[in-house]
Structure 1
Amino acid sequence: MILRHITIDAENPYELGQFWSSVTGWPLGDGDEPGDDEVLVEAPAPVPGLLFIRVPETKSVKNRVHADWVPTERTRDEEVERLLTLGATIHDDHRKPDGPGWVTMLDPEGNEFCVERSEAERSA
């Protein structure tokens, strides 16, 4: 079995897809445009894509599942600052003064995700 997509309920799939495309650097699916009920952010194989599906209800409780992201081109703190400029917000800051820890963030529709330290930071 192969995991093809991770599907996320959304009020506005296109806007949320654009946010995550900016976060990851992965492109939107061919033909995806504003107003679409389904928008795909295409990940490089073999990583599953992010599929955003329009639902009528708004997010009302904490996610039962969330992604943990590890920056590849920046430090954790640089990545958190970049994500803030893209429209994410900090939900819970678990960084420790001596370096370890992570930051729990929210995307523009309130979905939780975490940013951990980069591989370089963890091996230093």
Structure 2
Amino acid sequence: MTSRVRHLTIDSHDAYRQGAFWAEVLGGKLADDDFPGDPEATVEADSATLLFVTVPETKTLKNRLHIDLQPQDRTRDEEVERLLALGAKLYEDHRRPGGLGWATLTDLEGNEFCVERSADERAATEGPTG
């Protein structure tokens, strides 16, 4: 028998605020029993379940694990703009001429995550086998 990933747990200062942000990012929702001020918040989305836990420490180093997002119904650049409007910040831009590359953003508390090209964008530049 093997294990499965139940959810990814992310330390935060404000679990509910982080959860609300990521629920918007993933098109998911916060668990019905999550409210502002709770020490934990669970985001339930089709693509992943994230658990935010309030801790006293501040993030000080680069993440050892991060989330890579692939837009489903828009381009990478459109998704980057949507996430910036939600409060994310551009951290490093690895997008290259011709549409290759990715953008690294940070969430409301400075956790890095990447936005890759959509499947349609990949197919257009890599062909049917890539």
Q: TM-score, normalised by structure 1?
A: 0.96
2:40 — aligned with what? Answer: 38
Aligned to 2:127: none
For 1:90 and 1:122, the matched residues in 2 are separated by 22
Following superposition, which runs of at least 4 residues in structure 1 exceed 2 angstroms of deviation?
A: none
Report the equivalent of 1:21. Answer: 23
Q: Is the 8 A contact 2:23 2:45 kept in 1?
A: no
What SS does structure 1 have at the residue aligned with 2:90?
A: strand
Offset at 1:30? Answer: 1.2
Distance in 1, matches of 2:17 and 2:104, equals 21
* Equivalent-residue separation in structure 2 for 1:19 and 1:106 (angstroms): 12
Percent identical: 58
| Counterpart in the other structure of 1:12 | 14
Distance 1:62 1:2 in 2: 26
Q: What's the CA shift string for 1:33-72, capped at 9, x where partnerless?
A: 000001000123xx54100000001111110010111000
Give me the TM-score of the superposition, normalised by structure 2: 0.91
> 1:11, 1:65 → 2: CA distance?
18
Give aligned pairs, total. Answer: 122
Structure 2 unpaired stretches of 5+: 125-130
- The answer for the alignment partner of 1:67 in structure 2 is 67
Amino acid corresponding to residue 120 of structure 2 in structure 1:
A
Give SS of 2:18's match.
helix
SS of residue in 2 equivalent to 1:98: helix
Q: Whose radius of gyration is greater, 1 or 2?
A: 2
User: Where in structure 1 are there 5+ consecutive unaligned residues?
Assistant: none
Q: Map Cα deviations across residues 5-32 of structure 1 (whole Å, 9 max, x no partner).
A: 1000000000000000010111101110
2:107, 2:48 → 1: CA distance?
A: 19
DSSP-derived class of the 2:61 partner: coil
2:68 maps to amino acid: D
Structure 1 residue 92, shift from structure 2 partner: 0.2
| Separation in structure 1 between the aligned mates of residue 42 and residue 116 of structure 2, nearest angstrom | 25
